[in-house]
Structure 1
């Protein structure tokens, strides 16, 4: 006698296949609780020659929900040797991407690593939710910047007080 597929056999086979696929998915999933709450997406030094300033910073992306009113804090090392520059921003449920940068810096040396300590604090700043450390280095020193801004104002007009280098047009 030849075996026949009945509706119950087909249903049972489908349930078995679905159970096997669910088990495989469950075993290979990435649990969001295992991820850090924020991921550092990039960072480094920025030299703005027009305004004669240099700073460094980073971009952060929120990877999982954080307590309401959490604070993203960064402590940037001062290349000139002073105290760390502390910058912070309150996190919002409406935004997932943040960029923090140091104030304008002097004394930057080429190929010298400078650290930034990144922390996520609760809204009262009493509990550290997450912390990490990064270091960034510049390929050029801050001495490469002009002594005065090359432009002034919102329209980037030439700064009459800036020294002209090279041939004038």
Structure 2
């Protein structure tokens, strides 16, 4: 009788058994000190990844134009994979930016897709348009001397379609 109940419960499991990865966090990372903003997505490994698997993420470009593609090898010895864009411009508060993630096997064939969005709680105008510091010792950037916050915000919006 006990075995029959266990088998019945196991048979009622969700059909997500085919999923290999799940979203484990997504955010917009603003680094004020070096004046950069990036999108970041973490994928949790639900199973041991196959040899040679790759995550390919297509991020909506806040500045317009082509999507930004990021390819990251999935390492079997880790429990997560992080996908990070290069520095971005023109991020707008409360706008959902699309992200399409495709997991490919070693032959380049898709094994799973994940579609999601990431939304910033702030506009990129809160960042200076140039790094506040330069060099390994965090030397103040001489280009920033005497520039007002308003001047920096205006410069960070130049050529942005969303402002």
Q: Taking structure 1 as the reference length, what is the TM-score of the superposition?
A: 0.78
Q: Any conservation in 2 of the 1:35–1:63 contact (CA below 8 Å)?
A: no
CA contact (8 A) 2:92 2:124 kept: yes
Tell whether the 8 Å contact from 1:75 to 1:87 is kept in structure 2 after alignment: yes
Distance 1:163 1:25 in 2: 70
Q: Spell out the pairing of 1:1-169 with structure 2 (5 A cutoff).
A: 20-29=1-10, 30=13, 34-125=17-108, 127-163=109-145
SS at match of 2:144: coil
Cα deviation, 1:133-160, whole Å, max 9, x if unaligned, reads 1101112111221021112223333222
Give the corresponding residue for 1:10: none
| Equivalent residue, structure 1, for 2:156 | none
3-state SS of 1:117 partner:
strand
Whole-angstrom distance in 1 between the partners of 2:126 and 2:16: 45
- Equivalenced residue count is 146
SS in 2 for 1:28: helix
Q: Provide structure 1 residue ranges, at least 5 long, that are not aligned to the other structure.
A: 1-19
* Shift of residue 78, structure 1, vs aligned partner: 0.3
Three-state SS of the structure 1 residue aligned to 2:106 is coil
Shift of residue 82 of structure 1?
Answer: 1.7
Q: CA RMSD in A?
A: 2.1
The structure 1 segments of at least 4 consecutive aligned residues displaced by more than 6 Å after TM superposition are: none
Structure 1: distance between partners of 2:76 and 2:58? 23
